[in-house]
Amino acid sequence: EVELVESGGGLVQPGGSLRLSCAASGFSFATYGMNWVRQAPGKGLEWVAGIGGSGGSTSYAVSVKGRFNISRDNSKNTLNLQMNSLRAEDTAVYYCAKGGYHDYWGQGTLVTVSS
């Protein structure tokens, strides 16, 4: 059974940093691209970043480019999102999602950026 479990969320001050992780199980992790998608309180879904199966290709939403870095450790079946220079508008639930079709999602982890 496919399972994705996010961790690392919390309260951080504007300008601060946070590192999210997503532990994957139940599928051949290195075979699939992975994504981060976020949802601000009461708002819609926003695709944040994606990474290829080998980790060699990455892409970002304009809103986070230059501040966020997506990476993966295929030996540990783990997806990461390093978030720097955080802003109030980055406050959201962050989900990891499997593959180009986003066919499996984690339960999400809440990031709150506030002083």
Partner 1 sequence: DIQMTQSPSSLSASVGDRVTITCRASQIISTYLNWYQQKPGKAPKLLIYGASSLQSGVPSRFSGSGYGTDFTLTISSLQPEDFATYYCQQSYITPRTFGQGTKVEIK
Q: Which residue ranges make up the site for partner 1 (CB under 8 A)?
A: 35, 37, 44-47, 50, 59-62, 95, 100-108
How far apart (Å, rounded) are the C-alpha atoms in residues 27 and 32?
9
Per-residue buried b or exposed e for 82-97, using 16+ beta carbons within 10 Å of the residue's own CB? ebeebeeebbbbbbbb
Nearer to partner 1, 12 or 50 (CB): 50
Q: Closest approach of Cβ 78 to partner 1, in Å?
A: 19
Tokens of 23: 């532990």
Q: Closest approach of Cβ 115 to partner 1, in Å?
A: 27
Nearer to partner 1, 66 or 101 (CB): 101
Nearer to partner 1, 27 or 104 (CB): 104
Three-state SS letters, 6-51: EECCEEECCCCCEEEEEEEECCCHHHCCEEEEEECCCCCEEEEEEE
Q: Closest approach of Cβ 71 to partner 1, in Å?
A: 16
Q: Closest approach of Cβ 83 to partner 1, in Å?
A: 17
